[in-house]
Amino acid sequence: MGNPEKGRRIMANVREQWSGGWGFILAAAGSAIGLGNIWKFPYITGENGGGAFVLIYLLCIAAIGLPVMLCEMALGRHTQRNPVGAFKMLNPASCRVAHGVGAAICIGGLFLLAFKWWGWGVVALCLGMAIFRWRWVVVGVMGVAAGFIILAFYSVVGGWTIGYIVLAASGRLNFADVAAADAAFVSFAGHPAWAIGCHAVFMALCIGIVYKGVRAGIERWSKILMPLMFVLLLVLILRGLTLPGARAGVQFYLNPDFSRITAQSVLIALGHAFFSLSLGMGAIITYGSYLGKQQNLFAAGLSVVILDTAVALLAGLAIFPAVFAQGFSPDAGTGLVFKVIPAVFFHVPLGAFWAVLFFLLLAVAALTSGVSLLEVVTAYFVDERGWTRARAAAAVGAGIFGMGCLCAISLNDWTRLAWLHTVLLKVFGSVKGSFFDMLDHTASNWMLPLGGFFITIFVGWIWSARRAAAEIRQGGENYADASMVQLLAGLNEPGDRGAVTPLTLWGIFIRFVSPAAVLIAFLHTIGWLTFASAPPAAPRPGPPAAAADAAPDAGPATAR
């Protein structure tokens, strides 16, 4: 006689699916669209040639973003599992590539120990032995770990957006200049009660959505939050473009200036194309695992990329016209959001109202990304450990909240975490930046690009592009195999097959182009591949010389 309790537990954990293609597209686009789309893409576009940089970015999306996204979607849908479960299911019994990588890392660890880099040496040895023992499953583990780590510090920034909504609504963002806004931001972010309280609200929202499940939680809220995001963007764009002097901001942002395109610009575009789509952390694998076989992966992936890029482009039109109209400098990085924008709205009629809308936009972008990060870790415990979704979401969310509290109180310095700082110094010898910065650097600069690189190698060469293509072909047979010429002309018919099709191009890119591009982006991100600055070009249109200087950059380096 069977165990009734076990049967109920299995039924409770039956895998959900999206209600349709649009449910997945909006959820995946929400995962990809984060704070980096709002502040980083517009800024790097304006500083690297405007419209010319956008063209390069789109080429990089084609070379990295869409191919790697299709890899992750195919892995997820084929296995119907989280990142760890996906690699576990497809992991070969023996793999020379994985064994070679594991052995090389172990040798590197021995060298580190020989030079008395004890902490890093032990880490390298443990990682090498794990790869040698479990092979490609380690890539999935790294994705789940990255989701946990990133959300720990990302939720702190998400909390800032919620706090600034409250401050704007209560009329406390009255800053006539950037210096006053900068001082207020430092005080706000460095205040433990404010930082942890807002962080708690943000995490509670993420947990509540993930707790409800795929359809009732993630999909339902994606269908609300994503349209809301576009409405807010369009309203802010209309307000910005109608301000006197807004034309200078549009010119700075989108005027093509090919003289500013350098090798460094291409590397920046490569890096952002990868990071902005939530690749390398298993979010798309997890979301893809809820897709039905009838869904067209090519169309879904292309739709996600288009939505992500559209939001990034529209965000610049929402920000720069208003910034230039008020004579402020646009070169403030993260400070553009929390330090320059509040000062801009002070000079705009009904500034408090527009400030509330702007920070609501930021909060929505942060929340949709935060939900996807929490879902990656939650899905692991549901799939691999047999936990109920309610238990997994609550327990994982509580753990992330705890680590996030350490990030929140360590943002300015290590004063409040002196014990942790002492331990890290003894283990690793040196620590740069705060605990917040350390987690950001580890996840964004190392775990994500390495995860993306090994995903392309695994799909293209280990699982094989042929098997992955068979998965992609399901639900998109005509689209995947149509001749590119016929497809562009709209003349493809059922059964048409050309020598050059979207699927054959994907196979070539995922085996050769994408791994090389991701590796180059990774080397640039960690500072091992740089190029000398180009000779000064003609100055870009800017605000009046008397404009207030922008506040120095602060906050997370991650581009999500």
User: Which of 2-6, 353-357, 368-372 has the lowest average pLDDT?
Assistant: 2-6
- Reference 449, options 529, 359, 554, 375; nearest CA is 529
User: Which of 81-90, 385-394, 478-487, 542-551 has the lowest average pLDDT?
Assistant: 542-551
DSSP string spanning 324-360?
HHTT--S--TTHIIIIIHHHHHHTSTTHHHHHHHHHH
Q: Give residue 12's pLDDT band: very low, low, confident or very high (50, 70, 90).
A: very low
CA dihedral 86, 75, 276, 485 (to 10 degrees): 170
Q: What percent of the chain has pLDDT over 90?
A: 59
The residue among 269 and 556 whose pLDDT is bigger is: 269
CA dihedral 480, 483, 487, 493 (to 10 degrees): -80
User: How far is it, in rounded angstroms, from Cα 66 to Cα 494?
Assistant: 24
What is the arithmetic mean of pLDDT over 500-517?
Answer: 91
Q: What is the pLDDT of residues 420-466, one digit of tens each?
A: 999 998 888 888 888 999 999 999 999 999 999 999 999 999 999 99
What does the block give as tokens for 548?
Answer: 């207030």
User: Which of 40-49, 201-210, 444-453 has the lowest average pLDDT?
Assistant: 40-49
Q: What is the pLDDT of residues 389-415, one digit of tens each?
A: 999 999 999 999 999 999 999 887 788
Q: Give residue 334's pLDDT band: very low, low, confident or very high (50, 70, 90).
A: low
Q: What is the pLDDT of residue 178?
A: 86
User: Which of 242-246, 267-271, 432-436, 551-555 has the lowest average pLDDT?
Assistant: 551-555
- Reference 228, options 340, 348, 39, 367; nearest CA is 367
Q: What is the pLDDT of residue 478?
A: 66
Q: Check whether 77 has a pLDDT greater than 80.
A: yes
Q: Check whether 224 has a pLDDT greater than 50.
A: yes
Q: What is the pLDDT of residue 551?
A: 34
Q: Give residue 289's pLDDT band: very low, low, confident or very high (50, 70, 90).
A: very high
What is the arithmetic mean of pLDDT over 218-231?
Answer: 96
Q: Check whether 503 has a pLDDT greater than 90.
A: no
Q: What is the pLDDT of residue 432?
A: 81
Q: Give residue 548's pLDDT band: very low, low, confident or very high (50, 70, 90).
A: very low
Q: Check whether 15 has a pLDDT greater than 90.
A: no
Residue 292's CB is within 10 A of a number of other CB atoms, namely 14
User: How far is it, in rounded angstroms, from Cα 307 to Cα 238?
Assistant: 20
Please give the model's pTM, rounded to 2 decimal places: 0.91
Q: Check whether 260 has a pLDDT greater than 90.
A: no
Q: What is the pLDDT of residue 537?
A: 47
User: How far is it, in rounded angstroms, from Cα 244 to Cα 250?
Assistant: 12
User: Which of 68-82, 94-108, 157-171, 406-420 has the lowest average pLDDT?
Assistant: 406-420
**What b/e string do you get for 252-267 counting C-beta neighbours within 10 Å, with b at 16 or more?**
bbbeebeebbbebbbb
The residue among 551 and 505 whose pLDDT is bigger is: 505
Which positions ≥6 away from 345 have C-beta within 8 Å?
168, 173, 322, 351, 352, 354, 355, 358
Alpha carbon separation from 86 to 80, 227, 284, 385 (Å, rounded): 7, 31, 12, 14
Dihedral class, residue 368 (left if φ above 0, else alpha if ψ from -120 to 50, else beta): alpha
User: How far is it, in rounded angstroms, from Cα 73 to Cα 500?
Assistant: 22
What is the arithmetic mean of pLDDT over 352-374?
Answer: 96
User: Which of 136-150, 296-310, 481-495 has the lowest average pLDDT?
Assistant: 481-495
The residue among 190 and 363 whose pLDDT is bigger is: 363
Question: Hey, what amino acid is at 130?
Answer: A
Q: Give residue 559's pLDDT band: very low, low, confident or very high (50, 70, 90).
A: very low
Q: Give residue 308's pLDDT band: very low, low, confident or very high (50, 70, 90).
A: very high
Q: Check whether 186 has a pLDDT greater than 80.
A: yes
Q: What is the pLDDT of residue 33?
A: 93
At 33, give phi and psi (nearest 5°): -80, 110
Q: Give residue 550's pLDDT band: very low, low, confident or very high (50, 70, 90).
A: very low
Q: What is the pLDDT of residue 493?
A: 64
Q: What is the pLDDT of residue 107?
A: 96
User: How far is it, in rounded angstroms, from Cα 5 to Cα 56?
Assistant: 56
Provide the mean pLDDT of the chain: 87
